[in-house]
Amino acid sequence: MAETGSDQTGDMKHDSVSSPGVSDQEKEMATNAFEAFKAGSYDESLRHLDSLQELNKEDYKITMNKAITEFYKSGQTTTSTLKQALMTLKNQMHTAVDDIDGLDDVENSILYYNQAVIHYHMRQYSEAISIGEKLYQFLEPFEEKFAQAVCFLLVDLYLLTFQPEKALHLLAVLEKLTVKDGNSKNGKGESTNKESSALKAEFTAMIEAAKSKMHQYKVRAYIQMKSLKACKREIKSVMNTSGNSAPSLFLKSNFEYLRGNYRKAVKLLNSSNIAEHPGPLKTGECVRCMFWNNLGCIHFAMGKHNLGLFYFKKALQENDHICAQLGDGSNGQAAKKFTGIPMCALLANKRYELLYNCGIQLLHIGRPLAAFECLMEAVQVYHSNPRLWLRLAECCITANKGSSEQETKGLPSKKGIVQAVVGQGYHRKIVLASQSTQNTIYSEGQSAAIPVASMEFAAICLRNALLLLPEHLQHDSKPDNGSKSCSQSGSTESGSETSDACSGKTQEGDKFIPAAPSSPLRKQEVENLRCSILACSAYVALALGDNLMALNHAEKLLHQTKLSGSLKFLGHLYAAEALISLDRISDAIAHLNPENVTDVSLGVSSSEQDQGSDKGDLEPVESWKQTPLCYPSSVSSARATMLFNLGSAYCLRSEYEKARKCLHQAASMVNTKEIPPEAILLGVYLELQNGNTQLALQIIKRNQLLPSVKPASSPDLRQKPLPFQSSQPVQPIQTPSSFTQVQRK
């Protein structure tokens, strides 16, 4: 969830000439230029600066001030031009010094600060942090207001790049600095004239505003760290200093969201008066857009996915409306070029974060094609996020297995496994459902790299996801969250639109892996994600008929340390199916041993999450309390699945008696109504091989597995419970297709 706790961090710093050896005439002209600038008379300010430059052509700060004045004259819309002008000045200045990489002196700090502010607004956070940390080394000589601006800029950058520990450390330094400055200011023996009183009042107001802002930043940092106790203390301070303002209510709502108090979080959002909040031109934030997004996040956590999608769409509409108002072009196209939109409003565009949210929500609802379109647009910006590539692959898998899922869950009771009836009378034939008819027909003649929701493109997405995960973190992993098809989305205020959005490399080496717009991946999350990607890769390879690659992925999955029970179950099934297709049935039988299944838990942990609270990911427990209906709900059901497939493997080796024993052993472990069609077809095939034609016909008519009998005896039609739950990712091995048609007299 996003909040409005951060004010715009860096206003452009306009400095008058302060170099030594400046004449009184130059000082007067500089003062006049500065006063005209503050009054908004930019043309007059430029005239004074031109006159000043004629007297002192060597001072680069005059050129810098002219560039800044021109920038403000354009309504702050020429960001790229100003960036280029400052870069040129920096290069010219470095020609006269030896140490190009260091900060030359305190006098040049304004130039560096302005560059950092531009990088910040253009979402180039790594560059901004690099400059800000240089400035922080020279903090002592700066005047109080400028030192605070540098610190607040760095704090905001640390929070945007998910480094809350660094932000809290800097806030502690800033708090000491503020108290020290306040005491030193009050301790000075000042005259009691009106001017000194005004200055003192202004300074006191600045201190109070800084304290209020620091409390808000602390709450944001604790939310990222999910430190609820510390966050609760700071929330009280925020409410005391800011009252019931929109930023404070958004922060408190975010806090309640973290605690799982979703109804209270909604109530707090609704009580915020967003109409009175300044627009994006003043704050750089579209508070109405964040309001709708936060409602969408909360309802997603409550499991109300359709309602959540409604709110996300409202947020998208509001975002596009704001972008259209701010500059030329809709959907934030102008923001991409950084022209036509005031610099202070560049960060207001949250289109790609919202598209990410919409895509994840659509995937939960069961609309994979619509989700694919949203996520494909988001991946153009967040192409370094391995989670996003996995979600795209899941969209492709779900889109290509939609019809098969419905058939797997159980065919209509009257029709059973009968697909069609052909002819009449003696020539009447029953056409049974065949696995081959359920396979998706892929598009031919097109490159697999074309972004369409096909299994070929899913394979590319999964390959990208694997390549983005570092290999050297394979130790110290935790169980994955299973084969859940969707995860949650990122915050609308938590990402960069560049690949350097999360500078996790600055924190203890490779401890964090960037995954914008959600928080970076920790070590255990990387391994959990790797397991999920390998499971999907094996499934996709099987669907594409690439059995060697499927076997490779399945074996890699089974060799992962601390593998969750659910993915271990899938790994054995996928490896067995690949081995059977490679005619290595003996090896497949070893994988299909029911004793391999000891646990089918999904392994959900709070560490493998996608849904953003603002700048931090939170997994609402309610979202995964229920096991998906298409997945075995118990070890018994999973072992029955293994036995059904083991029976198919024995059947392929013509060991029909062993196959029959496996089939009926599995039948005794599952529910009759949930028996998979493939198992019934296997039963029909075995009875036909045994010569029990009448019993095979009874199995077809009743759509049930029936006890096997000798050909000469009367068929025993007693029903036995067969409680099997089929799974979307679990594809039982195909039975021989020789008997897809049964003649009936």
Closest CA to 283 of 338, 208, 347, 335: 347
**Average pLDDT of span 387-397:** 95
**Phi, psi of 722, rounded to the nearest 5 degrees:** -135, 75
Residue 252 has pLDDT above 80, yes or no: yes
pTM of full prediction above 0.75:
yes
Q: What is the DSSP string of 340-371?
A: SS-GGGGGG--HHHHHHHHHHHHHHHT-HHHH
184 sits in which H/E element:
helix 164-187
Tell me how far the alpha carbon of residue 6 is from its chain's centroid. Answer: 22
The yes-or-no verdict on residue 171 having pLDDT over 80 is yes
Predicted local distance difference test score (pLDDT) of residue 731: 40
pLDDT at site 725: 33
d(CA 740, CA 97): 84
The pLDDT of residue 199: 66
State how far Cα 413 lies from the chain centre. 42
The model's confidence at residue 300, banded by pLDDT at 50, 70 and 90, is very high
What token pair was written down for 608?
Answer: 């493998």
Q: Is 260 exposed, middle or buried (0-12, 13-18, 19+ CB in 10 A)?
A: middle
Residues 190/150, Cβ–Cβ less than 8 Å? no
pLDDT at residue 331 in the model: 46
Q: pLDDT tens for residues 65-84?
A: 889 998 988 888 888 888 88
Task: End-to-end CA distance of the chain: give it in Å, rounded.
Answer: 66
Q: Would you place residue 573 in the very low, low, confident or very high pLDDT band (cuts 50, 70, 90)? A: very high
Instruction: Give dist(CA 442, CA 460) in Å, integer.
Output: 15
Please state, in angstroms and rounded to a whole number, the distance separating the CA atoms of residues 663 and 167.
61
Confidence of residue 629 (pLDDT cuts 50, 70, 90): low
Q: Which range has the worst mean pLDDT, 51-55, 386-390, 580-584?
A: 51-55
Q: Which residue reads 């990088």 in tokens?
A: 119
Burial class (CB in 10 A: 0-12, 13-18, 19+), 105: exposed
Q: Which of 476, 515, 534, 535 is nearest to 609 (CA)?
A: 515
Three-class DSSP category at 300:
helix
Q: What is the pLDDT of residues 491-512, one digit of tens each?
A: 333 333 333 333 333 344 445 7
Task: Write out pLDDT tens, residues 665-691.
Answer: 988 888 877 778 888 889 888 989 888
Interval 179-195: pLDDT, tens: 766 666 555 544 445 55
Burial 620-636 (b: 16+ CB within 10 A, else e): beebbeebbebbbeebb
Confidence of residue 51 (pLDDT cuts 50, 70, 90): confident
Q: Is the C-alpha dihedral spanning 27, 28, 30, 31 positive or negative?
A: positive
